Amino acid sequence: MAMKMDEKQAIVVAVREQAASALSAVIADYRGLSVAALTELRKQSRAQGVYLRVVRNTLARRAVEGTEFECLKDSLVGPTVLAFSKTDPGAAARVIKDFAKTNEKLVVKALSVGGRVYGPQDIDVLAKLPTRDQALATLMSLMLAPATKLARTFNEIPGKLVRTIAAVRDQKQAA
């Protein structure tokens, strides 16, 4: 059944809104996936804050026009599922990569971050990017390291004195 013009326009507007606020995008070929598998992929995507949508390529091309994902137009060929990361840049890549481990029929076509298109071989790099919380935790540990080391150094001075006095006491008690 053919879609009406207003339905197509609604899809384009919805995908464009998601693309405008997304941090990264992954395009994958879902040919051969069962409906149950695709439903499971959608469920995992929702849990990770990833917008996942199967869209006709012509509508997807129109939707990404004027966004930083316009560079993906050439990759929109064949059955395509679009995944947009909303919370952190690596979320869509992690979802697609993890799902592709168990379903070899899901094949990554391309991915985009910051207006640049990357090949499917780069999905590991994008998937390994830390989440915002992980990045903040790493930054805080790096910022706390000098202060912690200084506190340990200052604490070592009285500790060394106490150990020296204890050694002298033990030596006198033994004698």
d(CA 117, CA 75): 9
Of all helices (H) and strands (E), which one includes residue 167? helix 132-174
**What digits encode the pLDDT tens for the residues 12-52?**
888 888 888 888 899 998 888 889 888 998 998 888 889 99
Average predicted confidence (pLDDT) for the chain: 86
Task: Please tell us whether the domain made up of 5-129 is placed in CATH 3.30.70.1730.
Answer: yes
Q: At what angle do helices 91-102 and 35-48 cross, to 10 degrees?
A: 150
pLDDT digits (tens, 9 = 90+) for 96-115: 988 888 888 888 888 888 88
For residues 159 and 167, what is the distance between their CA atoms, to the nearest angstrom?
12
Placement of tokens 């799902």 in the chain: 99
Per-residue pLDDT, averaged over 132-145, amounts to 85
* Residue ranges covered by each domain of the chain: 5-129, 130-175
- Residue 108 in 3-state DSSP? strand
pTM for this entry:
0.72
Give the model's pLDDT for residue 12.
Answer: 86
3-state secondary structure of 82: strand
